[in-house]
């Protein structure tokens, strides 16, 4: 403070000095609060915010298969608690005990509290409390690729499924890719190239049905045929290298990865299916997805991409 400013300050009455001090403190803390709120908003929009694990509902990370981008794995890791993450991996294939190390090593790029693999093809073992004890404290569960009917054959209706549901109920995250994505819904596509083979999944998100490897294998027709039998469901075709993030509380959806999520929505008035496309970065609720006016504009022509049959 210069000499002139100091003399003017001394000449002020005590009341004026107190008033200026209050204004200065209010401006200082107001600025800090605005900056903090701005940082929170940026973190929320970019996904760089840790979700509290005491939330009332959990999150699903539903990946369409192929090579998972780092962004998808990182989002799952963040949702599971980052350095405090306790991850349980459940493969969708049979393996020898020494092969389980491969599934653990896939998370070596991320610092976690623990990564543990559970695998059995014996339902009695899946009902053994000791077998799935790690799920009691897990913050994240990852369901691997392979054969979705093996996952449901081994675990559906067992203590393992019950404890996975409890992970979501205490605010954790369940992710899965390919076969691990197909089992997220209740009505499940078990296979079939053109005609869908219907089965039952784990029912973590019962309002939808998932089809994976969607654009690469041109599975739109298969998904349509299933939805014709179940017009109350929304079909979500998830492409490879891409994941749909589902916040179960509020049914909020967002897309992460390199490609697209294609939503197939049964409608009335002679139009059995409406298609909407979600690109990486899009965010929408399941409710709004069913309202045409709420959909982000698609950047590409679906008919130009869905060519041939794989």
Question: Which tokens sit at 235?
Answer: 């079909």
Residue 105: predicted pLDDT = 84
- SS3 letters for the chain? CCHHHHHHHHHCCHHHHHHHHHHHHHHHHHHHHHHHHHHHHHHHHHCCCCCCCCCCCCEEEEECCCCCCHHHHHHHHHHCCHHHCEEEEEEECCCCHHHHHHHHHCCCCCCCCEEEECCCCCHHHHCCCCCCHHHHCCCEEEEEEECHHHHHHHHCCCHHHHHHHHHHHCCCEEEEECHHHHCCCCEEEEECCCCCEEEECCCCCCCEEEEECCCCCCCHHHHHHHHHHCCCCEEEEECCCEEEEEECCCCEEEEEECCCEEEEECCCCCCCCEEEEECCCCEEEHHHHCCHHHCCCCCCCHHHHCCCCC
pLDDT tens digits, residue range 10-35? 566 666 656 655 555 555 445 544 44
Confidence of residue 310 (pLDDT cuts 50, 70, 90): very low
Of 33-47, 86-100, 192-206, the one with minimum mean pLDDT is: 33-47
pLDDT tens digits, residue range 126-161? 999 999 999 999 999 999 999 999 999 999 999 999
Residue 55: predicted pLDDT = 39
On the question of pLDDT at 2 being above 60, the answer is no
Confidence of residue 7 (pLDDT cuts 50, 70, 90): low
How many angstroms separate the most distant Cα atoms in the chain? 89
Mean pLDDT over 163-189 rounds to 97
Residue 267: predicted pLDDT = 81
Mean pLDDT of the chain: 83
On the question of pLDDT at 261 being above 70, the answer is yes
pLDDT tens digits, residue range 34-55? 444 444 444 444 444 344 333 3
pTM for this model (two decimals): 0.77
What CATH number does the domain located at 52-305 have?
3.40.50.880
Q: Percentage of the chain surpassing pLDDT 70? A: 75
Q: Report whether 239 contacts 306 (CB < 8 A).
A: no
Q: Which residue has the higher pLDDT, 53 or 303?
A: 303
């Amino acid at each position: 403070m210069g000499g002139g400013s100091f003399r003017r300050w001394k000449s002020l009455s005590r009341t004026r000095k107190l008033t200026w001090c209050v204004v200065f403190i209010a401006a200082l803390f107001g600025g800090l609060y605005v900056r903090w709120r701005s940082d929170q908003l940026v973190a929320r929009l970019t996904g760089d915010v840790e979700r509290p694990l005491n939330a009332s509902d959990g999150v699903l990370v539903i990946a369409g298969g192929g090579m998972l981008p780092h962004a998808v794995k990182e989002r799952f890791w963040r949702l599971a608690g980052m350095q405090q993450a306790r991850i349980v991996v459940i493969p969708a294939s049979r393996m020898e005990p020494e092969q389980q190390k491969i599934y653990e090593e896939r998370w070596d790029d991320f610092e976690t509290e623990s990564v543990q693999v559970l695998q059995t093809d014996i339902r009695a073992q899946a009902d053994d409390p000791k077998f799935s004890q790690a799920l009691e404290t897990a913050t994240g569960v990852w369901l691997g690729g392979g054969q979705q009917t093996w996952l449901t054959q081994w675990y559906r209706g067992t203590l393992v499924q019950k404890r996975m549901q409890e992970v979501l109920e205490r605010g954790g995250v369940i992710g899965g890719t390919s076969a691990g994505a197909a089992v997220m819904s209740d009505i499940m596509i078990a296979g079939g190239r053109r005609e869908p083979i219907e089965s039952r999944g784990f029912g973590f998100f019962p309002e939808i049905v998932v089809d994976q490897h969607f654009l690469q294998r041109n599975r739109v027709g298969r998904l349509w045929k299933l939805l014709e039998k179940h017009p109350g469901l929304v079909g979500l075709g998830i492409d490879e290298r891409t994941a749909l993030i589902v916040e179960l509380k509020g049914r909020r959806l967002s897309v992460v990865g390199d490609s697209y999520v294609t939503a197939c929505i049964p409608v009335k008035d002679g139009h059995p299916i409406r298609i909407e496309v979600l690109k990486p970065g899009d965010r929408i609720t399941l409710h709004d997805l069913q309202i045409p006016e709420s959909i982000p504009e698609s950047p590409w022509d679906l008919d130009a991409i869905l060519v041939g049959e794989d």
